[in-house]
Amino acid sequence: MLVHPTRNVDAPIRSLREWTAEHGIELVQIPAPYPQRSVAEEGDARDTDLIVSIGGDGTTLAALRAGAGAGRPVLGIGCGSLGALANVTAADLPGALDRFVHGEWRPRLFPALWVERTDGEPVFALNDVALVRESGSQVRLSAYVDGTLFARIAGDGAVVSTPIGTSGYAISAGGPLLLTGIDAYVLTPLPKHGGFAPPLVIGADSELELDGAASFGGVRLEVDGQVAGSGAGAVTVTFRPAMATQVAFDDHEPLLSGLRRRRILIDSPRFLAEDARRGLSCPPGT
C-alpha cells in the first residue's frame, strides 16, 4: 500500500490489514515521492500483485507512477478527495479487494507523456507537465508541433496534459476537458502577455517541443505536480499509451458524472435557479 502523508486514514488501513490477515496475504508499504508515516514493513512494488493507495488523487497518482514502473495495477481508495482517480470509498475497500481476487474487474489504462530534455534524464507524467517561471521574469516559450511553430508565448508558462490530467491544472487555466480513452494530449498556455494562442489538442502521433531558451529568469519543470528541474532549455513531449493500470469496476460512475457530483462541472445559473424553483435537491445527471 501507499498512504496519504497527513490525512486521517486509520480506518481504511485497519480494514486493509484485517482483510489481508484473513486471507493470508502479506501487506507491505512501498516508497513514495513524499514522506509517509510508516504503517507496514517496506516492500518493493515489483514484488506485489496489487498496489492499494489510501488517500486522495495525489496518493493515487503516486501509486500509479509506482505501478507503471513495476507493471502492477492500482486500486485507489478515496478518503474525502474531490478528484477522479481515487474511485473506491473506504467502506467499499473489502468488497473491492474480493472482486479483484475473483477477477471481477477491468483494467483502466492511463497514457503518459514522455518528456525528453536537454539538461536531464527523460521523465514521464501521467497527469501533466508544466513549464512555469522560476523568478519574477516572464517565461518565454516557443511551441512547435512536429517541427512547425504553433506560437511564441510570454507569460506564466504552459501546461501539457494527458486526458485524465485535463480535469485538473488544464481546465483551471481555461483548457479543454478530454474524456479518457481519447488518444490525444493538450497544450494549455498559462496567463500570458498579449498575443493569441488558444489551448491546442495534439494527436497521439505528434511531437511537441517547448523551447524556453529565450527565458531570462529561468524555467521550472514540474512533472505531476513535483519539481523535476530548472533551466532555460527545451523539452520534447510525446504520447505513450497504456503506461499505467488502475483497477476499475463496471458499476463505477463515469468521469463526467463524478465531476458533476463533485461540482467541478457546474450548470449555468439559469438552470440552477429553475431547479431551485422546482424543488430539486440535485440537478439532473448527478
Catalytic residue ranges:
57
Cα torsion through 246, 247, 249, 255, rounded to 10: -20
Edge-to-edge strands of the sheet including 184-189? 200-203, 184-189, 157-161, 128-133, 219-223, 226-231
Q: Are 80 and 54 in contact (CB under 8 A)?
A: no
d(CA 95, CA 191): 45
Q: Are 67 and 73 in contact (CB under 8 A)?
A: yes
Question: Of all residues in the chain, what percent are helix, strand and coil, respectively (each to 5)?
Answer: 25, 35, 40
